A and B are shown apart, each in its own frame.
Chain A
Amino acid sequence: MAQGKKRGDKGSALVVGAGIAGMQSALLLAETGTKVFLLEQGPAIGGYFPLLDKTFPTNSCGVCFMSPTPPAFCPIYECHLHDHIELLPYSEVVGVEGEGGDFKVTVVRKPRFVDPKRCTLCEACIKVCPVEVEREFGGGLEKRKAIYLPYPQAIPHSLVIDPKTCTRCGECVKVCNPGAIDLDMKEEEEEIEVGAILLGFGFEPFIAQRKGEYGFGRYENVMTSIQFERLLSTSSPTQGLPIRISDGKKMERIAFIQCVGSRDPSCGQDHCSTICCMYATKQAMIAKDRSPNLGVTFFYMDIRPMGKDYERYYERAKTEYGIEYVRSAISSIKELRQTKNLLITYVKEDGTFEEREYDAVVLSLGFTPPQTIKDLAKKMGLQLTPQGFCQTDEFNPAQTSVNGIFVGGAFRGPRDIPETVVEGSSAAAIAASFLSPNRLPQSPKEYPMEGALGEEIPKIGVFICHCGEELKKNLSLFDLILGTKLLREVILVEEVGLACLPEDLDLIKKRIGEQGLNRIVLAGCSHREIRGAMEEMAKGMGFNPYLIEYANIREQCAFVHENYPKLATEKAMALIRMAVERARRSQPIQKGKQKIDKKGLVIGGGLAGMTASLQLAQQGYEVHLVEKEKELGGNLKESFYTLRGSNPRELLEQLTKQVGNHDSIHLYYEAEVIGFEKNNGHYRTKIRHQNVGDSTLREEKILDHGVLILATGGKEITPKEYLYGEDSRVITQRQLEKMIHLEDEGLKDVHSMVMIQCVGSRDEEHPYCSRICCGHAVKNALKLKETFPDMNIYVLYRDVRTYGFYETYYHQARGKGVIFIRYDLENKPQVALQDGRFRVSLFDPAMNSPITLSADCVVLSTGVEPNDHRELAKICDVDLNPDGFFMEANPKSAPLDSVDRGKFFCGLCHSPNFIEDVISQGNAVAARGAALLSKEAVEEKAYLAYVIKRLCCGCGLCVTVCPYGARVINEEEGKAEVIGSLCQGCGSCVIACRNAASQQRNFEKELNLAALDAVID
C-alpha cells in the first residue's frame, strides 16, 4: 500500500458524491470560503447530469445557470476550477472516525492507470486497445474500449483504464508519447480531516430485469428510460432520432410503461419515484420533436406532474404534441416473431382488456437508493428509511441521524433537479452554520504586480505545441512555423513538446522574459485544456492572462481532419493567423470588483422567511425581517400535525422564539415595502412599519442590504363551488384539520364524509397542481380513521399525487378502508342537499356508471394560490409567472434565484409545497445569499460588455435581450449602461446593437472582423 497522506482541518468539509446535489453543496460551501473535498466514486464528476440532453419543463439544457457564482458556466467545470474545491474522483470512503466537527475520513483513491497530468487526450491508446465492452454511460447502448473517456466533456478530462476488462496487453503503453500510462499504478489511501460530511449519493435506476414480465433483456426492442434518454441525445448512435438500435428501423409507435419499480411493493419498491411521469413526458416530447409523426402512448396509474409549471407541461404534451395517456394496468408484453414489434395487452380502468402493437417499449424506471452505500452508511451510523434512503427529521431535512453529517438530494428519496438543487443548497447552509465556529479564513492567492503591457507595441511570441509528437502525424509543423514567421508583429515562433507540463511552461516563461514578449499565442490543444496552466504561469510572472490567445490546432485540425494532412495544416495556419490578429489587438483586462453590503433583507415572516433569516443570522450576517402582520408565523399558525406525524406547533414556537431572540435579526411588524433601489451590489429598500412604542405611529425606514429574500407566502384558495359558504358542513381540509385537532364534537355525528380533490387546482383559473392537497386529504383521512374507524370516507380525485414516500400513506389509507373514486374535469361531482344530508353524485369509471354518495360532511381539498404580489414585484423589479408566483431565473438549475443575482424566493410565494420542502427552500436561499454576502466584493467577469456612449441612441434593444438584467437605460442621458456585477459577457447586447455602440472587451467589432479577415485570407 502506498504511503498515506493527511490533509484537511476541522473547518473543512467532505462532500461524498459529485452529482447535482453534491456539486451544489460543494460550490456553495466553497463560495462561502470553506475548503471542500469533493469525492466521487466514478472516474468523472457530474452524476447523471451529463446524460441528459434536455430537461423538463423547458426542454432546454440550462445547467450552466446552476452555479452560485453568476450563471454562466457549467457546475461541473465550476467545481473543477474552484480554488476551494479539491476533487477526489475515482475514490471511495472506507472509514469514518471521530464525531461531528472532527471527523477523520479514510479515503481510497482507485488507480486510473493514466496520469491525468501527463495524458494529453490524444486518444492514440484508444485506437490500439483491443478490448471492446459495453459503455456504462447511457445504459449500455454503445461500446467503449478498456481504456476510455467516460464521456466527451468528462471532468477530470482524462482517460481511465477499467481494470475489470483490461487484458494488460500493454499496447496502449507503447503508443503513449507523454508516458502517461502506468499499468502498475496502485491504489492510494489517505486520511482527510474534516468538520462536516455532506452526502450527495444520489440514486440508482431500478434494475429492469427484476420486472421480468416486461421482457427487458429478452426482447430487443424493450428499452429502459435511461437508454431512451441516451438515444435521444444528439450525440447518440442515432444522432438523437428515435430509431431502433436493433435493426435500424424508424420507430412509428412507441409505448411508455410507467411505474416500473415504483409504487410496487411486490418488488420492494413501495414509494413513488416522483419524477418518472415528467421525465418520460419530456422524452416523448423530444422524440416527437425529432420525429413528428411518431405515435406515443403512456400506460399509467396516476400522472404526477406536481412541480412548478409541470401541469402545463403535461397539458402541452397532450394537446400540442398529441401524446396519448391511457390509464391502465399492463397484463402482458409479447414480442412478435417476424417484426420484433411488441404486443401489449392491458386492462383499462373499467376492467376491459385491449391489445396494441408498438415498435418499441420504453420502461420508465423508478429509483432506488444506491446499493453500494449500505456498508458506508453503517460505518457512519446513518439511519436509513425502510426503502434504504437516508432518514432525516421532517423539520430539519438536511440533518442526518449523525451530528455533523448532512444530506440533500436524491439520497433522501427520488427528486427532480430543482428540488435537488434546493436540497443541495440547504445542506450547504446547515453545514456552513455547523462549521462556522471552526472555519479558518482561506487567504486568496497573491500575484505580483502586472506590467503595463497593453501600452507597448505588440511583440508576439507564438508557441506551437506538437502534443508529444502527436500533431506531427497530421500537420506539417515546418509549414506552420514558416507561415507564422511571416505574420506581422510576431517576433518569435517556437516549437514546444508539451506545453501543459511544467518543463515547457518554464521555457515559455523564460522566452517571455528574454525577448520582452507582451502577447502570446499558444497553438496546440483546446484552450479548455491548457488555459488554466497558462494563466497560472502568466499571473505568476505579472503577465496579464488576457494577452494570451489560443489556436486549437489539435482537436479542430489534426484530430478531425486526420486523413487530410494538407488541408488540416492549411486550417491550422488559418487559426494561427486568426489568433495572431486577435493578439495584436487584445488589451489587458483588470476584473472590476463590486463591494457587497453584508446584510440580508427578508420579506415575510412565515416559515420560509423565518428559516431563511435564522440561517443567515447563524452564519453571522445581520438580517432585517419584515412582516406584514402583528406577529410571525404566517400559514404555519394554521397547521396542527403533519402526514409524517411531526408537530408544527412546536416548530412554530421554537422558530418564533429563536428568531425573536436572535441579536442579529431586526424585526419590523405590520410593515410594507414602499420603495426599492438597486445600485451595483447594493440594495436600498424603504419600508413603512409600526412604531414599537406608539401603536398609532407609522414609521418609514430605509434599509441597506446585499441580499433580498422574498418569502411573502400564499393562501388557501376560497372555493366557489360545492355549496361552500352556503352550508356550514361544507368545509376545507384546513378547517377539518383544526376540528380534528380541537376534537370538535361535530365530528362524532359524521358517518359519511366526502372529500373532493383539486378544488381550485388544475382548472382554468388555476391551471397548476397545488401539490400538497392529496397529501393533506390522506393525512386527515388517516387521522379520522384513528379516532372514528367506522366513518365512511370517500376521496374523489383526478389523479392521486402522493409522490415519494407519501405514497406509503396513500397505500395505508386504502388499507384502512378510505375509498378513492376518480372523476374527470369535464364531469365534476355534483353536491346537493336532500333531507338535511348531502347527495354527491358522480360518474365512477371503475363501475362505468353514475353513482350517488350520501354524506354528512363535504371536505374540499382546496389549492394554494400566492398572495397578491403584483405591487411588490413591480417595486422590487422581479417577475411573476402567469399564476402569480415569483418567477425564477431558471426553473431547473436556479429554482430560487431571480435573474438579478442577489434576489431570491422561497416558500409559498415560489410554489405550493409541504412544510419540509419549505424549510429546505428557506435554508437554500440562505446558503445562496450567504455565498454572495461572504465576500468583501464580487469579482466581475473579464469579458464585460461596455457602451460607447457617443454612438448609443438609447433604443433599448440591448436591455430587452440581456438575459441577466445587466443592462439599463440611464434616463437622464438617454443612453444604455452596463451593470458590471451582473454582466456575464454573453455578447447578446453586442449582437442586438445596430451600430456597434455596444462592445465587449477583447471582442471588439474591429478585432472580430480582423480575426475573420485573417481566416478567409
Chain B
Amino acid sequence: MAKKAAVKVAEEKTDEAIIGFLKSLLEKEVVEAILIPKTLPSQDGFVQTLIRDPEKLNGVCVFSPTMPVQSARVVSNLSVKNLGKKVAAVLKACEIRAAVELAKFLQVKMDNLYLIGIDCPGTFEVTDYARMVQEGKGGESLTKELLKGMEKGELSLPSGYSFRTACQMCEYPVTQADISIKLFGYKADQEIGIEIGDKLGKEIEEKGILSFSENGSPSRSEVISKVIAERTKKRDALFQEFKGIVKDLQAFLDRFSTCVRCHNCMVACPICYCKECVFRTAVFEHDGDQFLRWADRKGEIRMPTDTLIFHLIRMSHMVTSCIGCGLCDSACPSRLPVATLFRSVGERIQKMFQYVPGRNVEETPPVASFKEDELKIESGAL
C-alpha cells in the first residue's frame, strides 16, 4: 500500500519544501544521487542534472515548465548498464510512462532507480518559454500562477502563450511513481501532498523523513477528473480533425510530403531506442541505375526515396508504445503534427490489443506476446 503524507509549505515557498524533502533523501542516504532539472544560468531554460552533493540542489527547478529532452532517454542512459548506486529521477508523467515502456524493452533497468513524479500542469515549447522569460512572463511568477491554477484545475496562462499541443491533450496529468508529488487540489503555497510507493515507503518511514497520515486534499480527485475531462475533450476533437488524414495510407503519406528527412522525430522520441536506426545504415542504399529504372517505369520518382517508408517503419515500431509526450512535434522543423498523427493511429492500435503503454512494467507489450485469438480477421468464413 502506498503511504501518504502532507507537507507544510513555509513562507509560500513550495519549491523549497520539495527541495528540502529531496535533500533529506540524499542526506539520509535513501538515494545517492538525484536527477532533476536545473535552471540554466541564462534563466530561460532548464537542463537535466545529476546531483550527488545535497548543496547543489539549491537552484533546481522542480516545476520546470519545458521539456527540452525526454528524460526517459536520460534515465535509460543512466540505468541500462552498471548503475551501482541508488539514484532517484524527478520526472514528468509522460517521462515516467516512457521510462516504464523502455523498461519493458530492457532499456531502463529499475533495480537501482527510483522514479519521482510530479503533477504536471503542462509544458511550453522551449522557444516559447525563452520568449516568455524575456517578456518577464516566466520564472517564479509563472510558477506561482500555475500552482495557483492547479488548486482548482483552472489554469490561466500568460496571454499569447499556450501549452504544447501534446500537453493540451494529455490524459495523464498525475503520476504513478515510487514517489509522487501532488499539487492538483492543494493550496500549494501552504501545503502539498507526497505519496510514497511500496519500494521506499518503509525506509522513508524508518528514517523519519516523512510522517504519514491519510489526510489529503479533499478536492484532489475531483480536480484531476476535471482536468482529464478537459484534455480528453481536446484530444477527441483533435482526433476527429485528424480522422480524415489517418483513414487511408495515401492521405497519411500526403501529410508527410513536407518532411525534410532530418530524423529529429526519431532522435526526440523516447520509444525509438535503437542504437543506430536502420535508416542510417546502408540497407536502403541503391545504385544509380536502380533509381533510373524506377524513374523509367513511373516517369518520375520523388527523391530521396525512403522518406515515407521511414515514417511508416518508425510508426510500426513505436506506435503501440507511444505515450504521447509530443516531443517529436516539438522537434520537427517542418512543424508537421507528427505527434497527433501517431497518437491517432496509436490510439486505435492500443485499443485493439487492450494495451495501455506506460501503465505497469509487468505488462507485456503486444509486439512481445502472441495470443492465438488476437486480431481475428474475418476470412474464409461463410
Contact = CB atoms under 8 A, between A and B. Distances in A.
Interface of A: 234, 239-242, 250, 289-294, 950-957, 960-961, 969, 974, 992, 994-997, 1005-1006, 1009, 1013, 1017
Nearest to A953: B275
Contacts of B297: 1017
Contacts of A995: 274-278, 281
A1005 B278 CA distance: 10
B368 A957 contact: yes
Contacts of A952: 275
Contacts of A291: 381-382
Contact of A951 (B80, B105, B276, B367): B276
A961 B368 CA distance: 7
6 contacts: A240-B380, A241-B382, A953-B107, A954-B80, A956-B105, A992-B367
Nearest to B273: A953
A1017 B293 contact: yes
B290 interface: yes
A239 B379 CA distance: 12
Given A240-B380, A241-B380, A293-B382, A950 B283 contact: no
A290 B368 contact: no
B8 to A, nearest CB: 44
A957 B105 contact: yes
Given A955-B273, A997-B275, 12 more contacts: A289-B381, A290-B381, A291-B381, A951-B274, A952-B275, A954-B107, A955-B107, A956-B105, A992-B367, A995-B277, A1006-B283, A1017-B297
A414 B33 CA distance: 69
A239 B275 contact: no
B290 A1013 contact: yes
Contacts of A974: 80-81, 106
Given A1006-B283, A1013-B290, A1017-B297, A994 B278 contact: yes
Contacts of B278: 994-996, 1005
B286 interface: yes
Interface in B264-284: 273-278, 281-284
Contact of A996 (B80, B106, B281, B369): B281
Contacts, number: 74
A239 B105 contact: no
Interface residues of B, number: 27
Nearest to B313: A994
A938 B369 CA distance: 31
A289 B382 CA distance: 10
Contacts of B275: 950-953, 995, 997
A950 B276 contact: yes
A997 B273 CA distance: 13
B382 A250 contact: yes
Nearest to A291: B382
Contacts of B106: 954-956, 969, 974
Sort A-B residue pairs by CB-CB distance and give the 10 closest, nearest first.
A995-B274, A955-B105, A291-B382, A960-B368, A995-B278, A996-B278, A953-B275, A956-B106, A1005-B283, A994-B317
Contacts of B107: 953-955
Interface in B327-382: 367-369, 380-382
A430 to B, nearest CB: 37
Interface in B240-277: 273-277
B290 to A, nearest CB: 6
Given A950-B275, A951-B274, A1013 B286 contact: yes
Nearest to A963: B370
Given A952-B275, A957-B367, A995-B278, A292 B293 contact: no
Contact of A953 (B274, B283, B286, B369): B274
A951 B284 CA distance: 16
Contacts of B381: 289-292
Given A293-B382, A953-B107, A1017-B293, A1009 B283 contact: yes
A985 B273 CA distance: 26
B367 A996 contact: no
Contacts of B81: 974
Contacts of B274: 951, 953, 994-995, 997
Nearest to B276: A951
A517 B274 CA distance: 40
A357 B276 CA distance: 66
A1006 B277 contact: no
B237 to A, nearest CB: 33
A242 B276 CA distance: 51
B106 to A, nearest CB: 5
A240 B380 CA distance: 9
B283 A996 contact: yes
Contacts of A239: 380
A996 B277 CA distance: 9
A655 to B, nearest CB: 41
Give the most central of B274, B286, B317, B369: most A CB within 10 Å. B274
Nearest to B289: A488
A950 B277 CA distance: 12
A988 to B, nearest CB: 10
B9 to A, nearest CB: 42
Contacts of A1013: 286, 290
Contacts of A294: 382
A956 B368 CA distance: 9
Contacts of A293: 382
Contact of A1006 (B273, B282, B368): B282
A969 B294 CA distance: 41
B19 to A, nearest CB: 35
Interface string B24-38: 000000000000000
B356 to A, nearest CB: 19
Contacts of B382: 241-242, 250, 290-294
Nearest to A957: B368
A955 B109 CA distance: 11
Nearest to B280: A995
A1017 B293 CA distance: 7
Interface string B271-313: 0011111100111101000100110010000000000000000
A955 B107 CA distance: 6
A992 B369 CA distance: 11
Contacts of B293: 1017
Contacts of A961: 368
Nearest to B373: A320
Nearest to A961: B368
A290 B283 contact: no
A118 B205 CA distance: 86
B124 to A, nearest CB: 32
Taking each of B81, B106, B369, which has the highest tally of chain A beta carbons within 10 Å of its own beta carbon? B106
A913 B273 CA distance: 50
A952 B294 CA distance: 33
Nearest to B382: A291
Contact of A290 (B273, B281, B369, B380): B380
Contacts of A234: 380
Nearest to B318: A994
A957 B370 CA distance: 12
Contacts of B284: 1009
A1005 B281 CA distance: 11
Interface in B61-111: 80-81, 105-107
Contacts of B294: 1017
Interface centre among A293, A995, A1013 (most CB of B within 10 A): A995
Contacts of A997: 274-275
Nearest to B368: A960
A1006 B107 CA distance: 27
Nearest to B367: A957
Contacts of B290: 1013
A245 to B, nearest CB: 15
Contacts of B367: 957, 992
B195 to A, nearest CB: 31
A733 to B, nearest CB: 37
A954 B277 CA distance: 14
Contacts of A1017: 293-294, 297
A958 to B, nearest CB: 10
